[in-house]
Structure formats: C-alpha cells, structure tokens
Amino acid sequence: MTDIHLKGTARTDNKLWSNDEFEAAIQAVGAERYHDKHPFHKLLHGGKLKKSQVAAWALNRYCYQSAVPRKDAALVSRTFDRELRREWMHRVLEHDGYENDDGGIERWLILTDALGLDRDYVQSMRGALPATRFAVEAYVTFVREQPLTIAVASSLTELFAPKIHKERISGMLEGYDFIDDRVMAYFKQRLVQAPRDADFALKYIKEHAATRAEQEACVDAVRFKCNVLWVQLDALHHAYVNGNVPPGAWRPEDLGP
Amino acid sequence: MTDIHLKGTARTDNKLWSNDEFEAAIQAVGAERYHDKHPFHKLLHGGKLKKSQVAAWALNRYCYQSAVPRKDAALVSRTFDRELRREWMHRVLEHDGYENDDGGIERWLILTDALGLDRDYVQSMRGALPATRFAVEAYVTFVREQPLTIAVASSLTELFAPKIHKERISGMLEGYDFIDDRVMAYFKQRLVQAPRDADFALKYIKEHAATRAEQEACVDAVRFKCNVLWVQLDALHHAYVNGNVPPGAWRPEDLGP
C-alpha cells in the first residue's frame, strides 16, 4: 500500500479501500501529525515546564474540553438514526456529567484548581489564547456542517489518545510536584472511554463511507482534527515557552512584564 | 392586564412584564390556540375516529416524536452553559432512551404497532403528510437558529400538555377497543416528565428574558410552537377526515380509491 501518505485529497485511483487499508490510512495520519509529536507535549510530559506553563496549557485546554459536548450534541442533532444518537449521546454525558456523575469538564476544573487558577476565570475563557478559541470553534463548526460520516470521522484522533494519556499521566505525576493522582482523574477516565468511543466511530465510518472519495474525506477529517489539536500547542508554545503572550491572554506573574 | 391578547409582536408599551404577567401571556396563548382546541383532537379523544384515522394520526405524529431529540440536542449544542446542557440533555434521553430505557420513541412505536402499521414504514416517514414533515422540521430549525431564550420558550407548550394527555388517555381507552393501557405508555410517561420540563423552561425564560421585546418574542415562540402542532392536525383533518389524501401519503384500505 503506497497511497496512504497522500496529502489532502490528491489520489492515484478511485478504488474503494478495504477496511484494513482505510484504517491504515487513518492510523498513518496519527503517525504523521498527532499532537504527541509536538515539542510542547514533549516538554509537558518530560517535566520540563514551569507550573505557570502547565497552568497555561490547562487554562487553554479547558476551551477544548468544554466544547466537546457542544460538538457531540451538534452531531446528535443532525442524525435521524436513533441508534447513532443513543450511542453518541453518552459522549455528551461523559463530559457534562449526568445525575450523580459530575463529568469530565468538572474533572478538568480539578486540574485547573490544583494549578492555582481561578475557576470563574477559567470558565469565562477570557484569558485563553484567541488561536485556541478559533481552533476549538472550527471543530464544532466542522461537526455541525460536514456530512455525517465525515463528522463522525473527525472524532477518530481518539484512536491515538490512550497512548498520549498514559504518557501524560506517568510523565506529569513524575515530573511535577504540583500534580497528583486526584488531579489526573480526567485522563484516567479517558483511558477507559476513548477506546470504546473510537471503536464505535471506526466501525461506523467503515460501514458508511461508500466511495473512495468519502473514505479520503474521512482521512482528511482526521487530519483536520489533528490540526485543531496542533494549532493549540503551537499557540501555547509561542506564547508561554517563547514568551510572546498576545494582548488580553493570561499572563502569569513569573513571566515578567 | 389587557395586553396579553396581543397578536404577533404589536405592543402597547415597552415596560418589562412582571413574572406573573409574563406567565399569564404565555398561558393565554395556550387558551387561544393549543391543539386541544382542534376539531381533529375532539374527534380523536371522543372515540369518533375509525382505526385507520387514528393510525394516520399516529403515523404522522411519529415524525414529531422522532424530531424531538434532534431539536433538543440542537439546543444543547448551542449553549456554553453547562448547567443548561445537563438539564436539557435529559429531554433527549427521554425520547431516545438511555441504557436500559428504550425511550419515548420506542413507546410511540408500540402504539403504531398496535394500530397495525409496519414499523419500518412508520420509521421511514415515507407515508407521512408533507405538511407534517415541514411543520416538524420548521420546529427543529427554529430551535437551532433562534436566540437561546426564545428557543427554550418554544418548548413551553408542555405547560398545556398534561391536560391533553389526561384527556387523551381516558378518551382513547374508553373510545377505542384497539387501544389499551400498554399502548398508551408514551402519554403516561409524559404526564410525569412534561410538568418538570415545563417548570424548568418557564423559570429559565423568566430569568433570561431581560427586555419586554425578549419576553414578547418568548410568547411568540409559544405561538409558533402552537402553529407547529395545529398545522399537523389541519393536514390530518383535510387528508383523513375530509378524504383529501395527497399523492404519496399513506392510504388506508378502508378509505376507498
């Protein structure tokens, strides 16, 4: 198989991929550009960041976490397929919580609390980087507007997530004295949920992408989603590692004037 | 209070209504045009319809039931307010079901089964009246596009629903030998859920409608929603009581050629 490293929608033939070829093309996107390869993540997981830099990451990443139920509800709102809605709905519940479960967003706020950030300030998203907000809302819009199968495919960075979460949990627990088991609860929960969600979405797109063009659009959706994640780390790196904090964004005291 | 019978958005002053005036204006819409006043409902609840006419009602009403989770997920997908999402989400779950609960749509299909309709045909919506489909999708679009408070307000026909459901349960159980307790399960469940949902939505709009114009837009939203319901019964009445079934719509055998 030579055509899985295609850029964009260029293609060498129109033959439908087998399920294995289709899955390999998606996996190849992860190998090429999932954000575990970003220098900021290497610093984060390697214990190389100051507390304020980890806080900047958590503050910005809150925007992403809190957008997840909106994008998943957008997908639910678009489909006439009750079984798909029933399956997808639990993603919303995982993040927003349901009944006695406080949900993943609340678990994220335990992390931002531990990093010394004011909860109202985090939730206001006023201090987040504009690039973060744009990337996150681009994702919500993508899921709201793209054909359903392509929208489902954009979730498939979850295929690559358990590895990064494992590295993150061990690396951050080891590297930072301000991180403990309790504040890593969000990621521990995702170790269980992400593989189940990814399996469903992968099966769904294999069943529903009926042409090679649709298959390639699914692979592009995973590329798009990797870009959503990468842009967030680029913006963090530029602002909080290289010291170019844009006007209005959160400015930790130890960053200097 | 003399201005609660305003038509459309005409108004005599710009003063913010008190909560009681606001609620009275909404209740007045129900008194004027909720679909319990429609001649078709009087026939339905009075045991005056043939089985095939009840079936036509259930077949068409399926379109409405099955659109409810889409319109509620659309609302959830639009709000940054996690508490509102958590509260609204249970509406989606009530209709689609969750875990061991099959949900309200499944309960509706027990009714259409009992009326002798093929389940796949019902779910395909191919035999529904076009006017039904248009009205229902207008509702989904309204909730997707209107300002959030107005979208919330459009659910408030639920204030008037328990009365109609009680009449429907007793009237239909009494009036038709093809209706029993089991097939009325949908409505029995709604007797519990609708008041809770309506209380929340009413409280929400009282808190969030900050100008008289917004309050009146909320009242208009309830009018709009009444129209969505009324149009469906007009179409049923024209097609299946007066005998003008449009091309492509379900044609019961006893209707004649």
Contacts of B74 in chain A (CB under 8 A): 73-74, 77
Residue B19: pLDDT over 90: yes
CB atoms under 10 Å from CB of B110, counted, come to: 16
CB A60 within 8 A of CB A245: no
Nearest chain A Cα to B106, which residue?
A82
Domain boundaries, chain A: 19-243
Cβ of B70 within 8 Å of Cβ of A79? The answer is yes
The pLDDT-based confidence of B186 (bands split at 50, 70, 90) is confident
Residue B166's pLDDT is what? 86
Cβ of A93 within 8 Å of Cβ of B89? The answer is yes
Nearest chain B Cα to A125, which residue?
B80
What pLDDT, in 10s, does the model give residues A100-149?
Answer: 999 999 999 999 999 999 999 999 999 999 999 999 999 999 999 999 99
Cβ of A89 within 8 Å of Cβ of B85? The answer is no
Tell me, yes or no, if A78 comes closer than 8 A to chain B by beta carbon.
Answer: yes
Residue B229's pLDDT is what? 97
d(CA B231, CA B227) in angstroms, rounded, equals: 6
Cβ of A73 within 8 Å of Cβ of B69? The answer is no
Contacts of B73 in chain A (CB under 8 A): 73-74, 76-77, 85, 89
Residue B10's pLDDT is what? 53
Tell me, yes or no, if B19 comes closer than 8 A to chain A by beta carbon.
Answer: no
Residue A256's pLDDT is what? 64
Architecture of domain A19-243: Up-down Bundle (1.20)
The pLDDT-based confidence of B257 (bands split at 50, 70, 90) is low
Cβ of B89 within 8 Å of Cβ of A82? The answer is no
User: To the nearest whole number, what is the mean pLDDT of chain A?
Assistant: 92
User: What is the least distance, in Å, from the CA of B14 to any CA of chain A?
Assistant: 32
**Whole-prediction pTM:** 0.90
Cβ of A85 within 8 Å of Cβ of B73? The answer is yes
Tokens 């009087």 identify what position?
Answer: B42
Under CATH, what is the fold of the domain B15-241?
Heme Oxygenase; Chain A (1.20.910)
User: What is the least distance, in Å, from the CA of A214 to any CA of chain B?
Assistant: 24
ipTM: 0.86
Nearest chain B Cα to A102, which residue?
B86
d(CA B57, CA B129) in angstroms, rounded, equals: 10
Q: Buried b / exposed e across A78-106, counting CB within 10 Å, b at 16+?
A: bbeebebbbbbbbbbbbbbbbeeeebbbb
For B76, which of A92, A105, A140 is closest by C-beta distance?
A92
β-sheet bridge partners, residue B11 = none
% pLDDT > 70, chain B = 95
User: To the nearest whole number, what is the mean pLDDT of chain B?
Assistant: 92
How many H helices and E strands in chain A?
11, 0
CB A140 within 8 A of CB A71: yes
- Straight-line distance from the first to the last Cα atom of chain B, in angstroms, rounded to the nearest whole number: 53
Residue B195's pLDDT is what? 87
Q: Is B30 exposed, middle or buried (0-12, 13-18, 19+ CB in 10 A)?
A: buried
CB B181 within 8 A of CB B173: yes
Tokens 């498939």 identify what position?
Answer: A156
For B77, which of A74, A90, A97 is closest by C-beta distance?
A74
Concatenating the DSSP letter of every residue in A161-224 gives: HHHHHHHHHHHHHHH-TT--GGGGHHHHHHHHHHHHHHHHHHHHHHHH--SHHHHHHHHHHHHH
Residue B135's pLDDT is what? 97
Tell me, yes or no, if A74 comes closer than 8 A to chain B by beta carbon.
Answer: yes
**Inter-helix orientation angle B51-78/B130-145, to 10°:** 20
CB atoms under 10 Å from CB of B246, counted, come to: 11
d(CA A153, CA A197) in angstroms, rounded, equals: 11
A165 vs A119 pLDDT, higher one: A119
Residue A206: pLDDT over 80: yes
CB atoms under 10 Å from CB of A29, counted, come to: 23
Residue B212: pLDDT over 90: yes
Tell me, yes or no, if A107 comes closer than 8 A to chain B by beta carbon.
Answer: no
What pLDDT, in 10s, does the model give residues B103-122?
Answer: 999 999 999 999 999 999 99
Residue B2: pLDDT over 50: no
